[in-house]
């Protein structure tokens, strides 16, 4: 079920990226405090990469992501990585440890018990959140028509549908 939801979100995201130009992908957006669509896409990709890299050891630390400039400046690379990520997500659930400092003054990470499927769900929710920001950027730099559900949580869509009836 969650893999189907991720697939739908990834199809929306890659389909949208295919419709914008390379220049639009890397253009700073005033409405995003001069961040680019590419920076938001990179952030999505790198959190999934952190989870996949931590799977074998059982430790995931999203603060240790690479912050690869190539992903945020090359939309075709980003599209390829999104497809790769989707193809690696169907792993068995297992216990994991989430490490994070949560405080810029602290050097010692806090550790939280979690599991792989919970982290996949977190990354899905995180992706939708960043897609909402990407929607704002897309509207600033292009005239691409986005799906109504682009960057909208499924619970919000269900709520709106219930209100209409």
What percent of the chain is modeled with pLDDT above 90? 82
Check residue 157 and give its pLDDT. Answer: 67
Return the number of other C-beta atoms located less than 10 Å from residue 32's C-beta.
Answer: 17
Q: What is the mean pLDDT of the chain?
A: 93
Q: For residue 37, what pLDDT band results from cuts at 50, 70 and 90? A: very high
Instruction: Identify the CATH class of 2-57+65-92+116-164.
Output: mainly alpha
């Amino acid at each position: 079920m969650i893999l189907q939801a991720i697939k739908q979100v990834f199809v929306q995201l890659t389909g949208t990226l295919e419709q914008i130009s390379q220049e639009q992908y890397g253009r700073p957006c005033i409405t995003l405090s001069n961040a680019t669509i590419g920076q938001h896409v990179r952030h999505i990709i790198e959190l999934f990469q952190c989870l996949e890299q931590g799977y074998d050891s059982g430790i995931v630390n999203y603060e240790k992501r690479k912050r690869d400039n190539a992903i945020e400046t090359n939309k075709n690379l980003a599209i390829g990585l999104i497809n790769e990520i989707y193809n690696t997500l169907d792993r068995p659930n297992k216990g994991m440890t989430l490490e994070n400092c949560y405080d810029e003054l602290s050097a010692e990470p806090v550790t939280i018990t979690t599991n792989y499927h919970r982290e996949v769900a977190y990354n899905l929710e995180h992706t939708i959140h960043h897609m909402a920001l990407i929607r704002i950027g897309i509207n600033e730099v292009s005239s691409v028509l986005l799906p109504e559900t682009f960057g909208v949580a499924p619970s919000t869509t269900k709520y709106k549908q219930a209100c209409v009836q």
